[in-house]
């Protein structure tokens, strides 16, 4: 996959970037540029509305103070409330001295702000503590104003820029104007609920920061996966092809009462373009010999499929509805042994079994993908789910390093990590995916892309993006997010692959 045009910088990388910019630019440059960017956004989108700005004690508050001055010069009605502070940073103090008279209000924010623009300039990315009582009270007022537009400068106050953790009372932005570079916390965990639309302004530092090693993991940089990064999904097929041109995939799962999970993964693989799909059912005496809804799938008892040496299987997907009893553990061990030289996607119950029986996981010669949700990731790492959610990027990278695997840590803002630590946060998806079976569909989709010859980078990141984009596309057509089903995601994903002009980004 080519380098993305939308990098994500963690706080360590942002500090390095800001230091480089401040060293190269004249003093007092970044704050006026940030305020100017915010002023232009407000004038372009909400000209004529009054503006209320909540300012904190640091440079984020300084951005708000300069913004107030610029809006006042543009004849926009402005009110400011500023938290009491004994000392401000130099740039913020300069902005305070230049603030026109009559804009600063006393006491707590009050009044009906319906129709106004409320700007959160309280705290930026450096806040690493719970919000104090005054800040929570001010944010509660802002969040309760119906009909107002809420704009956050750099990051909504209370949201962690690295992890997406939202502290009690976090600002609920409709738009977040973030500076220098985008942040992972705006796109994972609670970030999407609090940031709204994310607009990035680099403040004219492109040339200054171009020399920074944007792919250097030591400074904490990653990527946001967008449509532009998934071009290999939309490469047209030549006429002179046959089913063997697009690979043979095998799904092993479907223990007692869970046949549907294996079928969802298999149907997804078929609809995403795999040439042939075998389904190995782990149930002792599977009653199903044919999928009546998808008779193209080739169903076999698991033992028969594992013993079929001449099937030409190029990719395995294992775990969907497999179960976690001793029989399932034996099936997993047998499958991982058979697939040790074949690209493999490991999902669901297989991950739980791996965590419980690490000695039964053979050494691998081919790349593989682990697709855990947070509880499964916690079991694989020997911690609790809260630890996974506390820093999803760091834990996905830790898991990838431990198993020398590609990792897809599912959830709001799915995180993808390669074995060497390169990471991305998915930019597509919605709450419609929070339903049974969508993880099975994702496993089948990734497997299908691998079977068709996409490299691991393109298949994993592209599959994750397409999975989320399908849910978005369905919702845009009035199907979900409430009540969206995993089976509907399959058809929508196929539709998107065949509609390269679709507008989902």
Q: Is 244 annotated to bind ligand?
A: no
Q: Is 115 annotated to bind ligand?
A: no
CA 24 to centroid of chain Cα atoms: 33
Helix (H) or strand (E) holding 370: strand 368-371
Encode 77-90 in three state secondary structure: CEEEEECCCCCCCH
CA 389 to centroid of chain Cα atoms: 13
Q: Is 154 annotated to bind ligand?
A: yes
Pairing of β 406-409 and β 415-417: antiparallel
Q: Is 463 annotated to bind ligand?
A: no
| Alpha-carbon span 191 to 425, nearest angstrom | 12
Q: Is 194 annotated to bind ligand?
A: no
Q: Is 440 annotated to bind ligand?
A: yes
Q: Is 420 annotated to bind ligand?
A: no
Q: Is 128 annotated to bind ligand?
A: yes
Q: Is 63 annotated to bind ligand?
A: yes
Q: Is 97 annotated to bind ligand?
A: no
Q: Is 88 annotated to bind ligand?
A: no
Q: How many CB atoms lie within 10 A of CB 394?
A: 18
Pairing of β 276-281 and β 298-301: parallel
Q: Is 271 annotated to bind ligand?
A: no
| Cis upstream peptide for 284 (omega within 30°) | no
Q: Is 129 annotated to bind ligand?
A: yes
Q: Is 257 annotated to bind ligand?
A: no
Q: Is 430 annotated to bind ligand?
A: no
Q: Is 126 annotated to bind ligand?
A: yes
Pairing of β 344-347 and β 7-9: unpaired
Q: Which two three-digit tokens encode residue 127?
A: 């806040």
Q: Is 28 annotated to bind ligand?
A: no
Buried b / exposed e over 337-346, threshold 16 CB at 10 Å, is ebbbebbbbb
Q: Is 95 annotated to bind ligand?
A: no
Q: Is 10 annotated to bind ligand?
A: no
| Alpha-carbon span 387 to 398, nearest angstrom | 12
Which residues contact residue 413 at a Cβ distance below 8 angstroms, ignoring those fewer than 6 apart?
Answer: 164, 184, 187, 188, 189, 191, 192, 392, 425, 426, 429
| Alpha-carbon span 309 to 322, nearest angstrom | 22
Ramachandran region, residue 271 (left: φ > 0; alpha: ψ -120 to 50; beta: rest): alpha
| Alpha-carbon span 153 to 63, nearest angstrom | 8
**What is the C-alpha R_g of the chain?**
25
Q: Is 62 annotated to bind ligand?
A: yes
Q: Which two three-digit tokens encode residue 141?
A: 């007022």
- Work out the burial of residue 49: count CB atoms within 10 Å of its CB; fewer than 13 is exposed, 13-18 middle, 19 or more buried: middle
Q: Is 480 annotated to bind ligand?
A: no
- Name the nearest CA neighbour of 264 among 5, 491, 101, 18: 491
Residue 86, CA distances (Å) to 108, 192, 505 in order? 18, 34, 45
| Alpha-carbon span 174 to 502, nearest angstrom | 25
Q: Is 61 annotated to bind ligand?
A: yes
Q: Is 429 annotated to bind ligand?
A: no
In degrees, to the nearest 5, what angle opens at C-alpha 123 toward C-alphas 117 and 126?
145
Q: Is 87 annotated to bind ligand?
A: no
Q: Is 453 annotated to bind ligand?
A: no
Ramachandran region, residue 408 (left: φ > 0; alpha: ψ -120 to 50; beta: rest): beta
Residues tagged in the binding site annotation for AMP:
410-414, 439
Residues tagged in the binding site annotation for (6S)-NADPHX:
59-63, 124-130, 154, 261, 321, 373, 440
Residues tagged in the binding site annotation for K(+):
60, 120, 157
Residues tagged in the binding site annotation:
59-63, 120, 124-130, 154, 157, 261, 321, 373, 410-414, 439-440
């Amino acid at each position: 996959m080519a380098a993305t045009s939308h990098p994500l910088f963690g706080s360590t990388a942002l500090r390095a970037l800001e230091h480089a910019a401040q060293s190269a630019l004249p003093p007092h440059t970044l704050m006026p540029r940030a305020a100017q960017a915010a002023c232009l956004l407000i004038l372009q989108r909400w000209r004529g509305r009054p503006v209320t700005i909540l300012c904190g004690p640091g440079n984020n508050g300084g951005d708000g103070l300069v913004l107030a001055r610029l809006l006042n010069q543009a004849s926009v009605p402005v009110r400011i409330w500023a938290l009491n502070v004994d000392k401000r940073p130099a740039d913020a103090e300069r902005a305070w001295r230049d603030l026109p008279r009559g804009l600063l209000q006393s006491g707590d924010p009050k009044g009906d702000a319906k129709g106004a623009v409320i700007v959160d300039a309280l705290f930026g990315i450096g806040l690493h503590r719970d919000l104090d009582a005054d800040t929570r009270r001010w944010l509660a007022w802002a969040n309760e104003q119906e009909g107002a537009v809420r704009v956050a400068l750099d990051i909504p106050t209370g949201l962690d820029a690295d992890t997406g953790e939202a502290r009690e009372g976090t600002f609920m932005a409709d738009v977040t104007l973030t500076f220098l570079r985008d942040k992972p916390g705006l796109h994972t965990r609670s970030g999407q609920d609090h940031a709204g639309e994310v607009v990035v302004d680099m403040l004219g530092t492109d040339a200054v920061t171009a020399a920074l090693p944007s792919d250097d993991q030591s400074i904490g940089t990653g990527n946001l996966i967008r449509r532009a990064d998934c071009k290999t999904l939309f490469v047209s097929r030549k006429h002179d092809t046959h089913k063997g041109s697009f690979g043979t995939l095998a799904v092993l799962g479907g223990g007692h009462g869970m046949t549907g999970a294996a079928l969802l993964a298999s149907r997804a693989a078929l609809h995403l373009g795999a040439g042939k799909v075998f389904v190995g059912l782990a149930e002792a005496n599977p009653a199903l010999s044919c999928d009546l809804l998808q008779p193209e799938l080739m169903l076999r008892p698991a033992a028969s499929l594992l013993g079929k040496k001449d099937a030409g299987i190029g990719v395995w997907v294992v775990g969907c509805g497999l179960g976690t009893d001793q029989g399932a553990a034996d099936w997993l061990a047998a499958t991982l042994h058979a697939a040790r030289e074949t690209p493999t996607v490991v999902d669901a119950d297989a991950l739980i079994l791996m965590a419980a029986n690490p000695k039964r996981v053979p050494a691998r010669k081919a790349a593989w993908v682990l697709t855990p949700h947070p509880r499964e990731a916690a079991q694989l790492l020997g911690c609790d789910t809260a630890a996974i959610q506390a820093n999803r990027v760091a834990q996905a990278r830790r898991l990838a390093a431990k198993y020398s695997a590609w990792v897809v840590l599912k959830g709001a803002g799915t995180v993808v990590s390669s074995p060497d630590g390169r990471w991305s946060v998915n930019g597509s998806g919605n709450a419609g995916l929070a339903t049974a079976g969508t993880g099975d569909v994702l496993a089948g989709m990734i497997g299908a892309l691998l079977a068709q010859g996409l490299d691991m980078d393109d298949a994993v990141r592209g599959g994750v993006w397409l999975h989320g984009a399908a849910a978005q596309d369905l919702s845009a057509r009035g199907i979900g997010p409430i009540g969206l089903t995993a089976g509907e995601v399959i058809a929508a994903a196929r539709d998107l692959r065949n509609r390269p002009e679709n507008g989902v980004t």
